[in-house]
């Protein structure tokens, strides 16, 4: 069996808030997905670590500790090999748009898994592609939350995310409030507040604003422009599990508009 790494680990805990706080504030990990009773952290190498609250993941009810899923190219073949050696899987081989996986009990009595997580950099489906999302990942510089200031409209913006979100309130007091926020996450969250009015024409403007912000980021920070060019001909994919317009969404079938803007800009750089 050719195990290439640990693609996923998860722990179910009654001390959900405390454990999530530990991962965020002590280990300094950025959440990739954050919903009720579930937070997923994506490591720089593509591995996932999930913290699950009491209501999540019934299969984890009897765990003594974290569950680990090993990365394999072919889950069906790995299961056949496991069964041939006298071990049975728990349940069946599960399949969805993000992975195939199977669970088994090891001699320690604990639950383990085998997966071919499609979003993982080791996945065959990722060949010739560069997946990016969090700012701390290997290709995190491609994302809007990466700390790279830009100068637009006569002002310095801490990140392209600050600029993009602020243009939802262009010409109002919230534009400057957004620019001064300490982090791109806070800029993002400001735009979601129900008491903050967003320009009714935003949907018509957002693509042009994003192109403006991305171009400024990679032209005004030449080292990032060089790194963008250095991605060669790889397909650039914003591996967002929650955004199917700028990214590919949870099912991997989203529009990936941010990736397309980056590839378009990369071609323009190559032509200069």
Domains in the chain and their CATH numbers? 5-117 (3.10.180.10), 128-271 (1.10.357.40)
What pLDDT digit, counting tens, does each position of 64-79 carry?
Answer: 678 899 999 899 999 9
Count of beta carbons in the 10 Å neighbourhood of residue 80: 12
Q: 222-229: list long-range contacts, CB under 8 Å, 24+ apart.
A: 224/141, 224/146, 224/148, 225/269, 227/141, 228/142, 228/262, 228/265, 228/266, 228/269, 229/266, 229/269, 229/270
Q: How many residues does the chain have?
A: 272
Confidence grade of residue 177 (pLDDT, cut at 50, 70, 90) = very high
Q: Please say if the pLDDT value at position 139 is more than 90.
A: no
Residue 65's nearest CA partner among 111, 33, 101, 34 is 111
pTM above 0.85, yes or no: no
Q: Is 112 left (phi over 0), alpha (psi -120 to 50) or beta?
A: beta
- Taking residues 210-227, report their average pLDDT: 97
Q: CB–CB of 178/166 below 8 Å?
A: yes
Lowest mean pLDDT among 93-107, 121-135, 237-251: 121-135
Count of beta carbons in the 10 Å neighbourhood of residue 4: 13
Q: Please say if the pLDDT value at position 125 is more than 90.
A: no
Q: Please say if the pLDDT value at position 11 is more than 80.
A: yes
Q: Work out the angle at residue 125's Cα, subtended by the Cα atoms of residues 122 and 127, and round it to the nearest 5 degrees.
A: 65
Q: CB–CB of 262/270 below 8 Å?
A: no
- Taking residues 221-250, report their average pLDDT: 92
Name the H helices within the chain: 16-21, 75-84, 160-166, 173-179, 184-190, 202-220, 222-229, 257-271
Lowest mean pLDDT among 57-61, 102-106, 110-114, 206-210: 57-61
Question: From CA 207, how far away is CA 257, in angstroms rounded?
Answer: 8
Q: Please say if the pLDDT value at position 123 is more than 80.
A: no
What pLDDT digit, counting tens, does each position of 24-76 carry?
Answer: 999 888 888 888 889 988 887 778 899 988 777 665 565 667 889 999 989 99
């Amino acid at each position: 069996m050719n195990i290439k790494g640990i693609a996923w680990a998860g722990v179910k805990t009654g001390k959900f808030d405390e454990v999530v706080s530990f991962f965020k504030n002590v280990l300094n990990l950025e959440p990739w997905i954050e919903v009720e009773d579930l937070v997923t952290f994506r490591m720089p190498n593509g591995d996932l670590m999930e913290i699950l609250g009491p209501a999540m993941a019934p299969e984890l009810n009897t765990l003594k500790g974290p569950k680990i899923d090993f990365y394999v190219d072919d889950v069906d073949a790995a299961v056949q090999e496991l069964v041939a050696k006298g071990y049975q899987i728990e349940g069946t081989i599960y399949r969805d748009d993000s992975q195939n996986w199977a669970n088994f009990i090891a001699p320690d009595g604990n639950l383990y898994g085998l997966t071919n997580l499609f979003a993982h950099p080791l996945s065959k489906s990722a060949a010739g592609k560069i997946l990016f999302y969090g700012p701390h990942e290997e290709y995190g510089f491609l994302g809007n939350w990466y700390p790279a200031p830009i100068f637009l409209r006569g002002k310095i913006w801490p990140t392209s995310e600050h600029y993009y979100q602020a243009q939802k309130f262009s010409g109002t007091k919230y534009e400057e409030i957004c620019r001064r926020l300490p982090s791109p996450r806070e800029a993002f969250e400001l735009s979601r507040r129900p008491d903050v009015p967003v320009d009714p024409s935003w949907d018509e403007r957002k693509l042009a604003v994003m192109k403006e912000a991305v171009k400024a980021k990679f032209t005004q920070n030449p080292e990032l422009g060089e790194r963008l060019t250095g991605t060669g001909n790889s397909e650039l994919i914003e591996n967002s599990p929650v955004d199917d317009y700028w990214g590919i969404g949870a099912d991997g079938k989203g529009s990936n508009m941010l990736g397309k803007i980056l590839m378009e800009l990369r071609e323009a750089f190559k032509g200069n």
